[in-house]
Amino acid sequence: MFAKSSKHSDQAKQPAWPFTSALYAKRMKAIFTISLIFTSLLIQGCPPHSYGIYRYHDVQISDVPVPCIEEAIKSIAGVTYLGHEIKDGGRTLTMSGLLPPDKVYKFKYSYKNQENRISIINKTNNGLQYHHAANSYNIEEANNLVATLNEVINRIDGEIEKSCSFSGLINKSSYSCDVEACNGSI
């Protein structure tokens, strides 16, 4: 009866709103994906703060003296040596590419039913890094942990410095304590 004009048939083929097009859907999916990735990176990139004792020192020796460290820990009265493990750590990126992974040595011990560990990172390109800490994300728990372990941490570190040639471990290392139980022992 009525003939359709070509003008009306072209309008019928195009969507009435731009949000119904396939291109718009693809763009919204990409924006959503990028937002999701950014949000998850933001959440994972902001770990909570932990409280406690931290000791860090660069040691100028070439290899980790595992038997010496084990004996130093065992020599402290009241400390139970629980063993050690060696794991691969991070890999340093240089201009010539990735270096082999660092070796991380973790020495575990127990004192008054509190387990703790010493970590020594054998950096592929830069000596050893000594880490000894007692910390928790809960400040009350960290206070109890520090009250129990502060003295033994100092005794263990002193024995390792004396017996294993880790010079400057006690006096020259970076040391901090951010809970009340430290009582000015920083």
Tokens coding 161: 């410095």
34/67 same-domain check: no
The last residue of one of the domains, among 31, 47, 63, is 47
**Residue of 135, 132, 139, 143 whose CA lies nearest to 169:** 132
**The tokens 């919204």 sit on which residue?**
28
81/170 same-domain check: yes
100/160 same-domain check: yes
**pLDDT tens per residue, the chain (186 residues)?**
555 555 555 555 555 565 567 777 788 888 888 887 777 766 666 556 677 888 888 877 778 889 999 999 999 999 998 899 999 888 777 788 887 888 899 999 988 888 888 998 887 767 788 888 888 888 788 888 888 888 888 899 889 988 988 877 766 778 787 777 776 544
Range of the domain at 38: 16-47
149/74 same-domain check: yes
Integer CA distances (angstroms), 84 to 66, 104, 118, 126, 137, in order: 9, 10, 9, 22, 24
135/70 same-domain check: yes
